[in-house]
Amino acid sequence: MLAATAFQLDLGGRVVLDGVSIAVQPGEVLAVLGPNGAGKSTLLRALSGLHRARRGSVTLDGRPLAAWSARALARRRAVLPQESHLAFPFRVDEVVLLGRSPHAGGSRAEDLRAVDAAMQATDTLALADRLYPTLSGGEKQRVHLARAVAQIWQPQAAARPDRYLLMDEPTNNLDLRHQHTALEMARRCAAAGVGVLAILHDINLAAAFADRICLLKQGRIVALGPTAEMLAAAPLEATFDVSVTILRHPLLSTPQIAWTVDAGRAMSTGPS
């Protein structure tokens, strides 16, 4: 598994992650939720190998990330950051093919199958011949998601090591349909044995798609466990400092979260 153990990180003289222990397991979708500034993106970067710990460790299959070569690590885990910048006028399918760079020297046919599968999963096939700079923000986000999926794609029949997909706010800039497309893709990846970690802001999307949830606040884990247990009033109120009401989705029977609004505050801050 991909795991952080007692991970502490200081940035700019401030403790950003404080004794965090978390593991992404093959075959699951693990959602990380928390208020702004909780350390969610920093945790993802730590798990990807971009931050070194003051104390603690991050390991893949029990080996420190620093012991892996960049290419070997890139074949095992892909990262979708909050923002991806690309100024060159590549076609969309060429951008997705960049995800296969760690597999250079392998089968060209397999690379093309990976690109096709990733673009189908992210609803980007219709964009294949478009020039990347002409896309909308949401379309660009979906293309980079396809690139990350292509990076760790493998044939279903292949017996290869576990892979991991780390996504920082993958639903950013996406409309309602494509928010669900992105997370349905995450579920399909998990069904294929990939360990998926997704930082989300929409708690109800996490309720519908995540196997486990980590609640993070001020660099510390408030609670970590199965989705149904985490989406209860006590852990959510401790994490977000608001009152919540727990409802049930009428079709999925999953928890649905409604914020409890103070009537007096609503009147004082409402339109005049």
Q: pLDDT per residue over 117-130, tens digit each?
A: 999 999 999 999 99
Inside any domain, residue 45: yes
Residue 186 pLDDT > 50: yes
Inside any domain, residue 217: yes
What mean pLDDT is reported for the chain?
Answer: 90
Please tell me whether residue 257 adopts helix, strand or coil conformation: strand
Domain count, the chain: 1
Residue 93 pLDDT > 70: yes
Rg (CA), the chain: 19
Inside any domain, residue 262: no
Enter the pTM of the model: 0.90
Inside any domain, residue 238: no
**Of 199 and 242, more confident:** 199
Q: In what order do the strands lie in the sheet with 2-11?
A: 14-24, 2-11, 55-60, 63-64
Inside any domain, residue 258: no
In this prediction, residues 58-79 reach a mean pLDDT of: 94
Q: What is the CATH number of the domain that holds 156?
A: 3.40.50.300
Nearest in space to 20 (alpha carbons), one of 55, 49, 52, 67: 55
Inside any domain, residue 248: no
In this prediction, residues 77-87 reach a mean pLDDT of: 89
Looking at 21-30, 48-57, 197-206, 248-257, which range is the least confident one? 248-257
Rounded to whole angstroms, the Cα distance separating 96 from 128 reads 9
Structural domain that includes position 72: 2-232
Inside any domain, residue 32: yes
Inside any domain, residue 205: yes
Rounded to whole angstroms, the Cα distance separating 238 from 35 reads 11
State the helix-helix crossing angle for 108-121 and 137-152, rounded to 10 degrees.
Answer: 140
